[in-house]
Structure 1
């Protein structure tokens, strides 16, 4: 079944489901509503509802299993083999049946889940795309506001720690559909950073580039002048994983006032297809500079300055290239450089962070995300047999000390407590590069509960984070672009968006495929007018108008 058929099926299914929307539920059936019946007391003296203890650990008396679908962007080993997951299971008495979906097939799998109504109990680290608004409307994902208020003290405390957080998390109807994740860890507002091999720059007597023209000349020298000194033309001037975020293409189009539509944008249900610039929603690939950006990167690709495998390699192949010593890759995009170079010290010694490049007309732009909170990634679905137990399991992960280990590593391995009780990162066992260590030892995304007040009192920032914060501070003047994470829609606007669900899926697939094709083949000039016509035929203008209304709604919230 094609994407168009899948999304169309979702819309049809939604119309059928809406027939039953008027059926009322008693309070006992509504997730998070307190029952009027007195709670039982078990033999241990704890209050219990059915099999679930109302507070404390373990969460359930008899072990339960929940089903979680996870967007596995890291191609991780089985989560249940990781110490942090085993720790949470032992603490909660809840076992997780993980469906770790590879990022490359995630969108298609999620579309099928919603079209067939065959849903997991939980989506974690999800990107629901065009399914999100319809799933809310039709009850396929449930309101968790009362669940958080009554059963999730850690999540509630983090949510209440900043008034903007509640504004961001709450829909116009007063409901909360996604369980927020909180990670206050320095000033980290920019996902990716541009890095170049400074040893090569020094050897070739080149300055750190400040413009796209200078960047081209630097990469050309990296390719032609044997900077690694082995007498072979084996250098890769620049590499990325084109369709990803931190190590990908998102901001490579910034010098032309836009972003790469192939790159994934944190917190955004529509990826980078639409962005906010100058307080207006625009289509990233219809901004005038987009065409020139594609032509620039096509030129680099044709001349061998951009890695020929940039569009096909996975993270394993990427990191194998960037960490190999002596280094034969001249530059890349990365979160902070330590994963790509092999360690923070190696990154500092060998690679320079490069400020956003100036484009032909002097533009410098980078996509900025609001740090500290992540939304629209964690959901409980109507398939959940016991939503109260699930929110309590999510809240267990949100206990800040557990969140720290869940995200950074197990206590006693690479995480330790100082004499005054603060958490800090230590060296990884056997000197394993931290990026590799995290893939095999952590579950990096989930319902974390590390909010700023707690972090300031209980965490010592590691060297990596301090370094990354310094880089992000230097990028701050260029954070002119944001994604659509905070749009708020009325019921009528959600209904309008639902009618364009198929169009939106087609726009996403079409724009992303054409971007890669044009860079590889260099055919954008010949196809540009037909491309714009296709987007207009897919009603992209009407979709932008609705998104703009959603932005106005958010800006008007008090």
Structure 2
């Protein structure tokens, strides 16, 4: 997804210094050759040759702070136990929930009692974080370590020079390791989901315009489509967190191009704030109208994603009619929980009053998700940590801890002749079971990996998504439903990359960006619910944005873009 440079919402990659020794009896840790990797020192450090298991001769302990997004015990996870046996590295885990990780990390860094490595997941080290913590010396530069010692990450950089450029901060350093995730449906993930079981019961079609969307919601509210005799339907719902949960995301794109994560857009090389455009104002009027007609319930602004899923999965019937989100886990548990997810399908982009429709293109931000792993200045052996992470970028390592992977013969098998993958080409692997979260087998996306387009497409897939007992069915649904979004999204070169701001400006940039983001989020809710009047309060809303520092923010962003990406 990050194939074109203008689409690179980049952050940073990180790897660590590598010392090398013999280890002639070590078992191979993958198919890539280690012969081209030079040691940082000729001394016998106790490390095996790069690319070989075990990584170290004597059992070694490292300390890691991780944002762990499940309720399971990472110490009992199969990947954790198996990797300690493979590598001879024991990990003392400091665990924070995914939602609390940033706060926990800030407290740990402020205390000075640093772990050896931060395992963040999902871009939790932003470009601003990397510049701040890198310049402070809390995390270390990794450039030479990657070039001299990494096998798999170095190979990815060598084959994709743009990835290295994206990962490099303005001071020339690489401060973190990424995840590579060429995920087609993630490229266009600001989606809307609709309960098609309700539509079928009401003999209605998927809406194609904002007017038809409102008519659909009204029918959901008035005609008891879940059939339980209660007025418990929530026509349009959202949550307070999650993946592209914002109401102004999908629907605003019927009025103006809107990336609800940043509210910024690239227009002929110029960075603009879409949340102050007249079209954005019109979109807010539309959303406020839906709320006034009770088509958006008040609890939409107080319910988190976990509670939303429980609400829709419990009881005698589904209660959600339409909901924004990057995937169906926002409102349903998926195959591991129940079959209710099958009642929802992806709504293609709809046209607004002037016929406009659009969708953000996140290709660059999803192909290379930077900021996943950073090595702290407290690490005694960055070389070991680098090797410990590096194997996860191999196809074997990615399969070993992928959502669909794990143990060959238990979670998956090699595909048979005639089985096809997501793109119609011969499959490489077949899932054997629908794994439940409590199985606690793999690390999933909380650790870095290299999920190439070919890797994702290599899983045996059904031709249609609404089939029973197939763990790949949701992926097929996402693949098929994404095509309509790609058709109306900007080209790669017309999309805004993430930006590295120089260290002398990072404090001001971060402060203003946080202030603007928080103010937009707060104001959008108030405009929708009527606590701010779209007509009467619009000018003061725009003026407040400028007082926070909008003009300076846009200038710093433009300077950062021009310095790195402008031809």
**After TM superposition, which residue ranges in structure 1, 4 or more long, deviate above 6 angstroms?**
45-48, 437-440
Confirm or deny: 8 A CA contact 2:228 2:317 kept in the other structure: no
Give the match's secondary structure for 1:176. Answer: coil
Name the counterpart of 2:510.
501
Confirm or deny: 8 A CA contact 2:253 2:357 kept in the other structure: yes
Determine whether 1:95 maps to 2:107.
Answer: no
Confirm or deny: 8 A CA contact 1:365 1:478 kept in the other structure: yes
Sort the Cα spacing of 1:78 and 1:348 in 2 relative to 1 into closer, same or farther, 3 A.
closer
Question: Within 2, Cα distance between the matches of 1:483 and 1:312?
Answer: 32
Give the match's secondary structure for 1:495. Answer: coil
Name the counterpart of 2:65.
69
**Superposed, which structure 2 residues align to 1:180-191 within 5 Å?**
180-184=178-182, 188-191=186-189
- Residue 51 (structure 1) shift: 4.0
- Residue 225 (structure 1) shift: 0.9
Sort the Cα spacing of 1:111 and 1:300 in 2 relative to 1 into closer, same or farther, 3 A.
farther
Give the match's secondary structure for 2:289. Answer: helix
Confirm or deny: 8 A CA contact 2:210 2:353 kept in the other structure: yes
- Residue 83 (structure 1) shift: 1.6
Sort the Cα spacing of 1:43 and 1:475 in 2 relative to 1 into closer, same or farther, 3 A.
closer
Name the counterpart of 2:411.
414
Quote the RMSD (CA, aligned, Å): 3.4
Determine whether 1:387 maps to 2:382.
Answer: yes
Determine whether 1:446 maps to 2:432.
Answer: no
**Superposed, which structure 2 residues align to 1:95-174 within 5 Å?**
95-123=90-118, 124-125=120-121, 126-129=123-126, 130-174=128-172
Name the counterpart of 1:329.
320
Sort the Cα spacing of 1:60 and 1:131 in 2 relative to 1 into closer, same or farther, 3 A.
same
Per-residue CA distance 1:169-190 (angstroms, 9 max, x = gap): 2345543222121233556412
- Residue 224 (structure 1) shift: 0.9
- Residue 117 (structure 1) shift: 4.8
Sort the Cα spacing of 1:187 and 1:352 in 2 relative to 1 into closer, same or farther, 3 A.
closer
Per-residue CA distance 1:337-387 (angstroms, 9 max, x = gap): 477455479578533321112223322122221243222333223232321
Match of 1:423 among 422, 429, 441: 429
- Residue 119 (structure 1) shift: 4.1
Sort the Cα spacing of 1:419 and 1:529 in 2 relative to 1 into closer, same or farther, 3 A.
same
Confirm or deny: 8 A CA contact 2:258 2:264 kept in the other structure: no
Confirm or deny: 8 A CA contact 2:255 2:282 kept in the other structure: yes
Question: Within 1, Cα distance between the matches of 2:58 and 2:23?
Answer: 12
Query: Which structure 1 segments of 5+ residues have no match?
Result: 1-29, 266-271
- Residue 212 (structure 1) shift: 1.8
Question: Within 2, Cα distance between the matches of 1:45 and 1:220?
Answer: 66
Question: Within 2, Cα distance between the matches of 1:145 and 1:540?
Answer: 34
Name the counterpart of 1:363.
356
Per-residue CA distance 1:467-526 (angstroms, 9 max, x = gap): 32222222112223987544355xxx4312333433333333333233334434431434
Confirm or deny: 8 A CA contact 1:258 1:285 kept in the other structure: no
Sort the Cα spacing of 1:389 and 1:251 in 2 relative to 1 into closer, same or farther, 3 A.
farther
Query: Which structure 2 segments of 5+ residues have no match?
Result: 1-14, 28-41, 418-426, 462-471
Question: Within 2, Cα distance between the matches of 1:440 and 1:519?
Answer: 42
Match of 2:488 among 478, 489, 503: 478
Q: TM-score if structure 2 supplies the norm length?
A: 0.78
Give the match's secondary structure for 1:541. Answer: helix
Sort the Cα spacing of 1:259 and 1:141 in 2 relative to 1 into closer, same or farther, 3 A.
farther
Sort the Cα spacing of 1:440 and 1:316 in 2 relative to 1 into closer, same or farther, 3 A.
farther
Confirm or deny: 8 A CA contact 1:497 1:543 kept in the other structure: no
Larger deviation: 344-353 or 503-512?
344-353
- Residue 218 (structure 1) shift: 0.7
Confirm or deny: 8 A CA contact 2:16 2:375 kept in the other structure: no
Question: Within 2, Cα distance between the matches of 1:273 and 1:117?
Answer: 35
Determine whether 1:301 maps to 2:296.
Answer: no
Sort the Cα spacing of 1:150 and 1:495 in 2 relative to 1 into closer, same or farther, 3 A.
same
Name the counterpart of 1:551.
561
- Residue 395 (structure 1) shift: 0.8
Give the match's secondary structure for 1:378. Answer: strand
